[in-house]
Copies of this chain bind each other. A is one copy, B any other.
Amino acid sequence: MKNFTVTIKDVASLANVSTATVSLALSGDPRVNVKTKKLVEEAALKLNYIPNEIGRSLRAKKTETISFIIPNTSHHVFTHPYFAQLLEGINEVLDNHNYNLMLSTSPSEKDESAAYNKILKNRRTDGIILSSASIHDRNILRMVESGFPVVYLGKWHHDNVLTVERDDIGGAYTATEHLIRIGRRRIVHITGPLDHQEGIDRLEGYKKALLDNKIHYDEALIIEKDFSRESGYEAAAELMRKQIDYDAVFAGNDLMAIGALKFYKENKISVPGDVSVVGFDDIEMATVVSPMLTTIHQPMREIGYKAAEKLIAFLNNQEVKEKRTIMSTHLIIRESCGADMP
């Protein structure tokens, strides 16, 4: 390291003023004389002075940093296709407000006291954006209840928690309804894990659409999987093995839909000829498979953006009008259903 750290003292002595004056001058306090201010600025420039944020933080009890915490339950946390978009939205807001972004995987239940506390209380961060996970994750509950400013990405019934939610029920309803509208009746639903809110809600939307259209809900058409591509493939295989009779599948996410598509291709089952399929998420991959996947679009970038905005507003004591923000989804029709029109 060739350059010594230059502190506020160095600037002060070069400018022949006190450190207090330097601090004031550099923060643009109107009280300080224009001449002095110029003097200080020149000194700072000359020394290439950059205020040490650590010192500032200690004093101000603010870090200008927020943490984005994602569950570490799955092996491929970061690889989750919408993670990147979420991050993009968050990053954009933070950049605009000169906040820093810290990224953590949430601690596993095991080492709670250590890792969990570290993230939560060490005060290197002003607030948290928490992405959703299992509804049984106790750590999340505790983070939320600690009083630490939290924006939760998903449903959370708690007074002092801000949320940004997708309309999972509505999206699933739309997806299912679309299949019904194009004439499908035996609609399989490959669900995500049913201890995840998304899994639960999408199943609910599916049921609701069936009900409203007077189609019998058949347990045999429900397969619980884990949102992975492999599990989607496996689901399709299972359906064949069990000789289930069906004409459509609504997959809980695109990855599973794409997995199923692969099985169909390998087994010469025509999509959408023999079976129509709809996914959920609208990840990029959905546009490169063939047939291209009809799916429910969810605005992940906007969700990240919104979440960051709410958190920063809250941290700056601005009134956050809507505690819950619900982002709507919409149907993207491509090729996997065999209908050209909505």
Q: A32-74 toward B: CB 8 Å interface, digit per residue (1/0)? A: 0000000000000000001111110110000101000000000
**A79 near B: Cβ within 8 Å?**
yes
Report yes or no: B91 in contact with A122, Cβ–Cβ below 8 A: no
Contact partners of A2 in chain B: CB under 8 A: 147
* Residues of chain B with a CB closer than 8 A to A79's CB: 84-85, 88, 284
**B interface footprint on A1-42 (CB within 8 Å = 1, 0 otherwise):** 111010000000000000000000000000000000000000
Partner of A102, one of B83, B87, B102, B258: B102
Contact A54–B123 (Cβ < 8 Å): yes
| Beta-carbon contacts under 8 Å, A83-129 to B | 83-85, 87-88, 91, 95, 98, 100-105, 117-118, 120-124
- Which among B50, B87, B101, B118 is the interface contact of A122 at CB below 8 angstroms? B50
- The answer to whether A148 and B1 touch across the interface, beta carbons within 8 angstroms, is yes
Check A100–B95 contact: CB distance below 8 A: no
A5/B123 in contact, CB under 8 A: yes
A118, B103: Cα distance in complex, Å: 18
A229 to B91, CA, bound (A): 23
Whole-angstrom CA separation of A54 from B54 in the bound complex: 6
In the complex, which residues of chain B have a beta carbon less than 8 angstroms from the beta carbon of A213?
none
Q: Chain B residues with Cβ under 8 A from A123's Cβ? A: 5, 52-54
A307 smallest CB distance to B (angstroms): 15
Instruction: Spot the interface stretch: A188-196, A238-246, A285-293, A324-332.
Output: A285-293
In whole Å, how far is A115's beta carbon from the nearest beta carbon of chain B? 8
Report B-chain residues with C-beta under 8 Å of the C-beta of A122.
50-54
A91: contacting residue among B54, B105, B284, CB under 8 A: B105
Contact check, B258 vs A288: say whether CB atoms are below 8 A apart: yes
Complex alpha-carbon distance, A55 and B63, angstroms: 12
Chain B nearest CB, measured from A97 CB (Å): 13
Q: How many A residues face the partner with a CB closer than 8 A?
A: 52
Please, how many angstroms separate the alpha-carbon atoms of A100 and B52 in the complex?
18
A147:B53 contact, CB within 8 angstroms: no
Report the bound CA distance from A103 to B91 in whole Å.
9
A85 proximity list for chain B (CB < 8 A): 78-79
In the assembled complex, the CB of A122 is this many whole angstroms from the nearest CB of chain B, namely 4
Residues of B within 8 A of A120 (CB): 50
CB of A53, distance to nearest CB on chain B (Å): 4
Alpha-carbon gap, A147 to B104, bound state (A): 27
Q: List 19 A-B contacts (CB under 8 A).
A: A1-B147, A3-B146, A3-B147, A5-B123, A50-B120, A53-B123, A54-B58, A54-B124, A58-B58, A65-B124, A78-B87, A79-B284, A91-B103, A101-B102, A102-B102, A102-B103, A103-B103, A284-B285, A288-B288
Q: Which residues of A approach B to under 8 Å, CB–CB?
A: 1-3, 5, 50-55, 57-58, 63, 65, 76-80, 83-85, 87-88, 91, 95, 98, 100-105, 117-118, 120-124, 146-148, 229, 258, 262, 265, 284-285, 288-290
Q: Give me the 5 closest cross-chain CB pairs, A-B, nearest first.
A: A50-B121, A53-B122, A78-B84, A2-B147, A1-B147
13 new A-B contacts, CB < 8 A, other than A55-B58, A83-B84, are A1-B148, A50-B118, A50-B121, A52-B123, A53-B122, A65-B124, A78-B91, A80-B84, A102-B102, A102-B103, A229-B288, A265-B290, A288-B288
